[in-house]
Structure 1
Amino acid sequence: MTARDLHLSLQAGAAVPCNLNWRIEDGYLRVCSWSEHGEACTFGLWGPGDLVIPSLIAVAPLQLLALSSARVEEAEPEPEEREAFLLAQSVQTATLLQLSRTRPAESRLFQLLLWIGERFGRVNSRGVSLSFDDMNLTHRHLAEISGLTRVTVTKAISHFRQQGYLRKEGPDELLLREALPQLQRPSRGAQT
């Protein structure tokens, strides 16, 4: 792959041109679109080292946004990189679609945080650590990615903290995997 001369330094929220391919040097990008009612729909999250090829994402309108401050360089992908991107984008889209159907809302948000932590954070025996600050994961961003309201996200995160499922450890947040079964609703046939 040959890099071109175009390098961009972006602030959080800045749009990245979708007519070019980008290698992320630092920061995080979000691929999204909007419904006819103006609701955001996220199709993927990409981080340092990732190659993003907007022309291969069959969604219109499409927008590539800097989730955090980011540095990107224009790139010309090799055929195998195009295939790898298509596969990775398909997996992300399927994961986000599956998460959108998860109930209750707290479970959806918890599973989303686990997925983001496994993708961009550090995995250990207790759970995943990730930095909300480094990724600029505001409650509004989490609401848009998960399809929940900001108020629901804020309440759920407060509940996770109160229950000890989400703990501050230095600059990162530790999300405990053991909490997930407790957040699931009992099955319809379960006796109470």
Structure 2
Amino acid sequence: MSRRCLRLSLRAGETLPSNLCWRVEQGYVWLARWCPGADPLTLGVWGPGELVMPALIGLTGLELRSLSAVVVEEEEPTSAMEREFLEEQLRQAAILLLLSRVRPAESRLLQLLDWFGTRFGTMTSQGVVLRFGEKTLTHQQLADIAGMTRVTVTKALTQFRQSGVIAGQEGGALLLRVSASELWEYS
């Protein structure tokens, strides 16, 4: 008898069991470690078609949360899938560690948006369009992922809009008009 796999549909902000392997069918999920009295520590972000296996990371206190409306399906991973996930997880962890050290905070946020654009964005003649489901990420979600306060994120996004670095798009998308090489000018 074959094992039935779970298929879940969640709204933004809902949590998924972190002891299972999930294939993201639609939407985006965020893995963080929550510590009392501290900001969440971002361990990764995954989107459509990607596998996430929090149990392989080997830490307690992990929370897998939907960033947007998501549809996920439980997956029975093979050894090759586990190895691929761990390699990708190592890359993400290295990038996120580097991002966590960027100062000032505004530069960190801009580089996080650039990383999201590289992973999940759509290149257009005007720049990279970021869309996380039906709307863009909230300021609080960006703050939690980047290890910043919501107020700092709001101020930075306002500054980026005023300077033309980013622009709102139809349907809640965000247009990032600065290329990755230009981002270092903000550091």
Q: TM-score, normalised by structure 2?
A: 0.90
- With 97-106 and 174-183 compared, the bigger mean Cα shift is at 174-183
Structure 2, unaligned stretches of length 5 or more? none
Q: What corresponds to 1:166 in structure 2?
A: 166
Q: What corresponds to 2:140 in structure 1?
A: 140
Task: Give the Cα–Cα distance (whole angstroms) in 2 for the partners of residues 169 and 65 of structure 1.
Answer: 25
Q: 1:125 to 1:15 in 2, by over 3 A?
A: same
Question: Which amino acid counterpart does residue 95 of structure 2 have in structure 1?
Answer: T
Paired positions, count: 183
1:36, CA displacement in angstroms? 3.5
Q: What corresponds to 1:116 in structure 2?
A: 116
Structure 1, unaligned stretches of length 5 or more? 185-192
Q: For residues 1-192 of structure 1, what are the structure 2 equivalents within 5 Å?
A: 4-124=4-124, 127-131=127-131, 134=134, 136-171=136-171, 172-178=173-179, 180-184=183-187
Task: Give the Cα–Cα distance (whole angstroms) in 1 for the partners of residues 13 and 92 of structure 2.
Answer: 21
Task: Give the Cα–Cα distance (whole angstroms) in 1 for the partners of residues 176 and 95 of structure 2.
Answer: 19
Task: Give the Cα–Cα distance (whole angstroms) in 2 for the partners of residues 91 and 134 of structure 1.
Answer: 28
Query: Identity, % of aligned pairs?
Result: 48
- The question of whether the paired residues in 1 share the 8 Å contact of 2:33 and 2:41 is answered with yes
Task: Give the Cα–Cα distance (whole angstroms) in 1 for the partners of residues 153 and 80 of structure 2.
Answer: 38
Task: Give the Cα–Cα distance (whole angstroms) in 2 for the partners of residues 160 and 175 of structure 1.
Answer: 9
Task: Give the Cα–Cα distance (whole angstroms) in 2 for the partners of residues 62 and 136 of structure 1.
Answer: 24
- The question of whether the paired residues in 2 share the 8 Å contact of 1:3 and 1:76 is answered with no
For the residue of structure 1 that corresponds to 2:97, the secondary structure is: helix
Question: Which amino acid counterpart does residue 88 of structure 1 have in structure 2?
Answer: E
For the residue of structure 1 that corresponds to 2:55, the secondary structure is: helix
Q: 1:175 to 1:100 in 2, by over 3 A?
A: same
Task: Give the Cα–Cα distance (whole angstroms) in 2 for the partners of residues 158 and 64 of structure 1.
Answer: 29
- The question of whether the paired residues in 2 share the 8 Å contact of 1:7 and 1:71 is answered with yes
Q: For the pair shown, which has the larger CA radius of gyration, 1 or 2?
A: 1
Task: Give the Cα–Cα distance (whole angstroms) in 2 for the partners of residues 24 and 132 of structure 1.
Answer: 13
- The question of whether the paired residues in 2 share the 8 Å contact of 1:27 and 1:135 is answered with no
- The question of whether the paired residues in 2 share the 8 Å contact of 1:29 and 1:65 is answered with yes
- Aligned-residue RMSD, C-alpha: 1.9
1:77, CA displacement in angstroms? 1.1
- The question of whether the paired residues in 2 share the 8 Å contact of 1:3 and 1:75 is answered with no
Task: Give the Cα–Cα distance (whole angstroms) in 1 for the partners of residues 8 and 51 of structure 2.
Answer: 14
1:61, CA displacement in angstroms? 0.7
Task: Give the Cα–Cα distance (whole angstroms) in 1 for the partners of residues 153 and 66 of structure 2.
Answer: 21
Runs of 4+ more than 4 Å apart: none
- With 13-22 and 34-43 compared, the bigger mean Cα shift is at 34-43
Task: Give the Cα–Cα distance (whole angstroms) in 1 for the partners of residues 135 and 59 of structure 2.
Answer: 24
